Amino acid sequence: MKKALFTMLIIIIIYSAYPIDDLWRKAQSLAENSWRLVPGKTTTIIETFQGGVSQGNPTTIVKSIYLSEEGKIVSETLPMETELPELKLEDLENLEELLGSLPSQEGSHTKVITLSGSDLDMSNLPPGMHTVQTSHHTPKDLTPKKEGIFFEKNKKFLTLKKVKGTKTIEGKLCRGYRYDYTKTGLKKDREQGTIWLDTTTGVPVLKEPAASKDLLATESTISNVYYGFNPETRQFYTERIEATTDISIPIVNLKMNIRSITIEEGHWEY
């Protein structure tokens, strides 16, 4: 009798640490169909604050991502210089219209636009106008990989725990799962947080990773990932990433807050 009770207790503990249920299986099935998606364009707006006050103009970075002749997914930037009205985070809806007026060159794939007065001579510019500078770079290979919490079946690398109750996010009723995941089984690759799934479809709606911290500068970063879904193809994808970084360096009495939002769109399948 005691042995049976002990075995049942072990089963309950294992299940509570890895609650694979029908909703999670739906998410796994959708992930199987979605992992090859790549954003065709990303727009990132970054703004720095001190004491709640913006420290100058935001930095806006726009990239388009494509398949190179070598078969790698990369992004490139277009060297250019022009003028734009000052951009704010709330101007995101009008960003496409503003960018449409920029000069372009055949074969270019990316426009990286930096709006900042800290290192520029702004004296000759009209009010509200800022020089736009760009740089050229080729980042690392962006080829998607089939990995992550929906593919990990090793209980040593992934533990799950259901969040009690439900929560409405982006107008969708969601159920949460707290996860503790190490991609390689090593602590340096550890990721913790909560993923919220639509209670009907299993589509991921929001991932809230736990804050990452840098003890040297007492830096803390939170990056929330919001997902979109195409019901025709049954594929979900990253729609936007909202990040906040708090930096505090007591020795120089410095406190800063950096906020960014990255919009991903035009997804294509690799």
Read off the amino acid at residue 11.
I
For the chain, the average pLDDT equals 76
CA distance 56 to 124: 17
Distance CA 115, CA 79 (A): 14
DSSP 87-153: --GGGGGGHHHHHTTS---TT---EEEEE-STTS--TTSPTTEEEEE------------S-STTT--
pLDDT for the residue 152: 87
pTM: 0.71
d(CA 134, CA 233): 36
Residue 119: both structure tokens together: 């290192």
Give a three-class secondary structure readout of 172-198: EEEEEEEEEEECCCCHHHEEEEEEEEE
Domain locations in the chain as residue ranges: 22-269
Under 8 Å between Cβ of 144 and 270: yes
pLDDT at position 129, please?
36
Query: Which residue, 139, 113, 137, 117, is CA-closest to 48?
Result: 117
Q: For residue 38, what are the contacts with CB-CB under 8 A and spacing of at least 6?
A: 65, 73, 142, 144, 267, 268, 269, 270
Token pair recorded at residue 144: 């998607």
Give pLDDT, residue 28.
97
pLDDT of residue 219: 74
The whole-angstrom separation of Cα 256 and Cα 21 is 42
Question: What is the C-alpha to C-alpha distance for residues 39 and 111, in angstroms, rounded to an integer?
Answer: 15
The pLDDT assigned to 120 comes to 35
Q: What is the pLDDT along the chain (270 residues), one digit of tens a residue?
A: 545 444 444 444 444 445 679 999 999 999 999 999 999 999 999 999 988 888 888 888 888 898 888 888 888 664 434 444 455 555 545 544 544 444 443 333 333 333 333 333 334 433 443 333 334 444 566 889 899 999 988 888 999 999 999 999 999 999 999 999 997 666 677 899 999 999 999 999 999 999 877 656 567 888 999 999 999 999 999 999 999 988 887 776 778 899 999 999 999 999
